[in-house]
A and B are shown apart, each in its own frame.
Chain A
């Protein structure tokens, strides 16, 4: 059986890799010839742990093409392009509509079309396509764990015209290869389920942010409280309880904006969602406020070291990155920046030194801000950091370094949630 993926963006490439790993023949289509050329060489233009290895291992069953007509050979085609969002989290669906139109014109007789990208409730049913061959599937990729999650989903949420109807053979064969529960539901429920999942995640993070800040002021330690929550069955081991610097990446912001828009249109209450959004904006400024209080308002022409530019570890994405947001407000000051993947030019900072390593960034700095929790930053020696820096302030919101080791090294260590 041959499965097509239209849109070789983060979602499409990782989903295609998972299909390859599950033993299917895959056709990956994108109009971007450079992206296709890279995939043919086994060099995807996105960063995901394990992705190049999966693509290389199963290269014999993969074909990547810039010719949309090649999808006509597929029994099943996923619309898997990322949906861009604006600064307010609103989706631009024009590209997806155009892609669906192009793909559906080339679909083979009896082939099934599945919309995999993040679309608002009502989108799928409004498509003028045969309902028995049109589905919406919820994607739950996580940047930095995308391959793993695409290969081993906890469940498959499938939006259908009629959830009780027998599903097309090709779709059934493909989905059952993932050996997980399949939850059929009407299109609108599936589209909203995706949003509901993200709302639950944001809710947990907002709880963590709110109480972690209180911990900082009360002398409590959020890391001590988290295990107590995770052992509560109603909360669970995998709950998102790590405080952060606001929601980033684009997808969660999109869903919150969608809930607010839908609630406003229909007159339902979205006050709590707006409170999450406000909390996110508030926490984003944590590092700036700490830097201002301790360094920017006290020293003449200070130097700030910033480690990490990506919005989270193991990704090249900088969408709504807290690090870039911080750097935008440090324009008058000298900054020294290092990220393992993202070039310093992404900061577009007028006084930026593109550092070659973490310690190079710390050289002569009055303060250090670790803005992305890359694993390799955790291996840094606080003693060497302290010796390299001019000042002592170390902001480590994600607790990448050990607080005790930093303090022993003479650093003034600050993190979210206290220590």
Chain B
């Protein structure tokens, strides 16, 4: 559940994006451009958030009137070990030091659905976090670090699986399926792809973030569509986009299937007219983008 500090949408003076070069950062920049909202796009080449000098350097770049969006994190493809986690902590520690020193107008922390237990098949913002790996534990701890910022309104966004053309993580789902189908004409599933997940288009995540920035929302919000599909269904949707037949290959199941659904009532209450792209429409749009680029 979130609370809006702005009773009506109000453009932030400036948005400071930390991790602006990433997948979500790029989508958010696009929407900020459309709304003509000024932003400061910071990447690791501008400030190395893990460096001990980061707090001072960042404090010279961000202003008290800024809405800071913290997207920077080392994702599991960069490492799942303790060292990666500690580096992520250092990045957050330094960011919080600067944000606290400046006392910024709004702080949005991009967390992950990895804070929830895999056993929680139906999730709401009230579902107690119960991370089961270092990545989830890292995000949960970083959420707490953000929330400990004194006098700074904090919003934690927990996105479900995000897809879009520019995703670099290639995690299991629409992005990997599309690339595999294009490269090999084949999509390989874990088991029969029975697991259900909620897949959200990156532009919808950016749009939701923008709404939260405009309303200066605080609290916790899951970024999900409220509709889950099995990986097999998603594979079929992806395969349908190709003119040539794409083989969907099932493999022996190594682990029991788990499911994840979202009750998005909190998002609906916060933004009753909010709209999410359906998986068929979203996958088709990504496919068209891909063809346009090739």
Question: Taking beta carbons and an 8 Å cutoff, which residues of A are in contact with B?
Answer: 278, 282, 285, 288-289, 292-293, 296-298, 329-333
Contact = CB atoms under 8 A, between A and B. Distances in A.
A288 B273 contact: no
B269 A282 contact: no
A285 B275 contact: no
Interface of B: 124, 126, 226, 263-265, 268-269, 272-276
A289 B272 contact: no
Contacts of B124: 282
Contacts of A293: 226
Contacts of A296: 268, 272-273
A289 B273 contact: no
B269 A288 contact: yes
Nearest to A297: B275
B263 A329 contact: no
Contacts of A330: 272
A83 B54 CA distance: 57
Nearest to A298: B275
A371 B276 CA distance: 27
A271 to B, nearest CB: 13
A297 B265 contact: no
Contacts of B226: 289, 293
A332 B276 CA distance: 18
26 contacts: A282-B124, A282-B265, A285-B263, A285-B265, A285-B269, A288-B265, A288-B268, A288-B269, A289-B263, A289-B264, A289-B265, A289-B268, A292-B268, A292-B272, A293-B226, A296-B268, A297-B273, A297-B276, A298-B275, A329-B268, A329-B269, A329-B272, A330-B272, A331-B272, A332-B273, A333-B272
Contacts of A285: 263, 265, 268-269
A292 B271 CA distance: 10
Contacts of A332: 272-273
Nearest to A299: B273
Nearest to A330: B272
Q: Indicate the member of B126, B272, B275, B276 with the most A CB atoms within 10 Å.
A: B272
Nearest to A325: B269
Contacts of B274: 297
A247 B276 CA distance: 30
B181 to A, nearest CB: 30
A100 B267 CA distance: 46
Contacts of B126: 278
Contacts of A329: 268-269, 272
Given A289-B226, A297-B275, 5 more contacts: A278-B126, A285-B263, A288-B269, A296-B268, A329-B272
Contacts of B275: 297-298
A333 B272 CA distance: 9
Contact of B263 (A282, A297, A298, A333): A282
A97 B274 CA distance: 49
A329 B268 CA distance: 8
B261 to A, nearest CB: 11
A285 B269 CA distance: 9
A204 B126 CA distance: 24
A332 B273 CA distance: 8
Contacts of A282: 124, 263, 265
B226 to A, nearest CB: 8
B10 to A, nearest CB: 16
A213 to B, nearest CB: 10
Nearest to A328: B269
A291 to B, nearest CB: 9
The 4 closest A-B pairs by CB, nearest first: A285-B265, A297-B275, A292-B268, A329-B269
A15 B126 CA distance: 41
B253 to A, nearest CB: 24
A278 B125 CA distance: 12
Nearest to B274: A297
A285 B265 CA distance: 7
A221 to B, nearest CB: 22
B130 to A, nearest CB: 15
A330 B271 CA distance: 10
Contacts of B263: 282, 285, 289
A231 to B, nearest CB: 32
A297 B275 CA distance: 5
Nearest to A281: B126
Contacts of A298: 275
B281 to A, nearest CB: 13
Identify which of B126, B265, B275, B276 gathers the most chain A CB atoms within 10 Å of its CB: B265
B125 to A, nearest CB: 12
Nearest to B266: A285
Nearest to A288: B268
Nearest to B271: A332
Contacts of A331: 272
A270 to B, nearest CB: 16
Nearest to B227: A293
Contacts of B265: 282, 285, 288-289
Nearest to B126: A278
Contacts of A297: 273-276
B229 to A, nearest CB: 14
A332 B268 CA distance: 12
Nearest to A284: B265
A387 B291 CA distance: 47
Nearest to B276: A297
Contacts of B269: 285, 288, 329
A297 B225 CA distance: 12
Nearest to B268: A292
Nearest to A278: B126
